[in-house]
Amino acid sequence: MAKLAEFHNLFPALREFVQMGKPVWGTCAGLIFLANKAVGQKDGGQELVGGLNCTVHRNYFGSQIQSFEAELLVPELASQEGGPETFRGVFIRAPAVLEVGPEVEVLADYPIPSNKVLYSSSAVEIQEVYRHSSIESVFIGMESAMPEKKVIVAIKQGNLLGTAFHPELTADTRWHSYFLKMVRDVGEGTSNTTVAVSEAASSSDRQTKYDLPIFR
């Protein structure tokens, strides 16, 4: 994405779009794109659009084969859109948000078990000790030194929304409805185009909801 945006000189237009206060939703790599800062990148890094006052760790959970699904607590989403208090998150070589500024609203996080090695440079070093150590007490001691923590996987700041997972791969459309309402709230009464989008979003609530399969 970054290479294509740079090749076609899209960054100035993308940054201007975000700075104008237009609603933007970034999922997975899109979340990285919208972050003000990214770590865990390849050599040379990548250019970012920015806008979300947060630090994102690229591929935080590991490589493609370490993709997974998990039930996430989403109280704000449930409050606004109804439905269950949880959402099935599909994480594919996913990033995670490590830090957020005071103006950023955390919409979902994910607990990391104490016995699960995190995907970071320090954790990789610990994993190497586990693999090569023959002293059981060292293994147990290091495992107990890794307390359970949570990483952030969904955030909102003003007109910007970011999710580390892929809501489009489930039958649950609440995140899409949530974002369409952000679009409506921003553009209501100011743009005929945005109003048309809002009306389409409202009418879609009256249409038949198709039960799409959940990604497995």
Alpha-carbon gap, residue 87 to 78, rounded angstroms: 9
Which range scores top for mean pLDDT: 37-51, 139-153, 159-173? 159-173
Q: Considering 71, 128, 148, 168, which one is annotated as catalytic? A: 168
Which of 6-10, 116-120, 123-127, 171-175 is predicted least confidently?
123-127
What's the predicted TM-score (pTM) here? 0.73
Higher pLDDT, 183 or 208: 183
What are the boundaries of each domain within the chain? 1-117+147-186
Alpha-carbon gap, residue 94 to 118, rounded angstroms: 13
- Residue 54 falls in the annotated catalytic set: no
- Residue 132 falls in the annotated catalytic set: no
**Angle separating helix axes 192-204 and 174-187, nearest 10 degrees:** 150
Burial 45-55 (b: 16+ CB within 10 A, else e): ebebbbbbbbb
Band (pLDDT 50/70/90 cuts) for residue 113 is low
Q: Report whether pLDDT(134) > 60.
A: no
The proportion of the chain whose per-residue pLDDT surpasses 70, expressed as a percent, equals 69
- Residue 85 falls in the annotated catalytic set: no
Question: 1-117+147-186 maps to which CATH number?
Answer: 3.40.50.880
Q: Considering 28, 85, 99, 199, which one is annotated as catalytic? A: 28
Q: Report whether pLDDT(97) > 90.
A: yes
